[in-house]
Structure 1
């Protein structure tokens, strides 16, 4: 029996593990350096890790990492992230007793999307969802804190229109680039990207307890999958 094309990776398992390990190690080293040298605030350090780790999904796509490996890694890092709220590990990202479970939800979202779209040989939906969370949420928070001059409150959470606008623009850009690579410059690409941007921005606005780290990637990927299936 021949394997599906997606399982016939041109890279060996050791190459996949080495490349991903080097990337994650570099992100961890940078975060630890910024934290110990006090050259960045704790929030900036968290966003550096948030963005750096999120881009692993691109490596997984390029290296054609098998489904089982992606899901296993997600389970492992989800467990570590959850323990970090109770034990002094990942101190540059989480503090013991921190109320937000964002890091845990972030790790879970990788496993759910890989388990869903990798076997379907449509990994670009998982990539779309994770990258919107990675870059959209990461930069929206930093832009909102630095340039936010028009705040608003949603269910007791403080946001800024500048941060939400950044989230929308980044989500639209990522969606457009990925869908363009899949279905070309059709009108569906731009319409679907616009709908995804609106949905992702709305989901990000409700970020209590870090739940947006789960709802944004899953919601964006699901909406993209449904709209492409319907319109295209």
Structure 2
């Protein structure tokens, strides 16, 4: 489909997007299809996924987690439909976004969804969609401080902070007390991504952990 036509369809369809069900644009997007129209290396244009996440964030902000969970299911269906193609194109990038997807699904489908956990998971998913291979998120390209769960993960120029900075903040916040299982899990994953020189993903994970500690 012509790129201009696809963008026009997406723009029109996103006006008054329903809380559930695919928009016409989502169904017509190419199989490898998320952030603000910026192609992610290997996985292709992910804007259809980012649009669903943006809708979900808006709905979750109202406190209607049931509706937000219904909307995020649209992402799950679309993602699974294209999984084989994307995994073959970029297994590492696919894995990073898939893990962020699962965290968002889990947060929204909890028996009693926690607003902080939901927001942190969705923020991390936005970051993952913007930089599935650990690069600079598309949203950062404009050059401004980016935040996950209210915590800065980039400098004023939009560059990811050294992952060691947020890991040190997390260590200080935890202190001598044993961390809760959820926080400890995020901390472990953050260290793994930091050791892999993936500052973007490590920072998102550390920010989620810090947000949970702050309650």
Which structure has greater helix proportion? 1
Bigger relative contact order, structure 1 or 2 (CA pairs below 8 A, ≥6 apart): 1
Calculate the TM-score normalised by the size of structure 1. 0.44
Structure with greater Cα Rg: 1
Calculate the TM-score normalised by the size of structure 2. 0.47
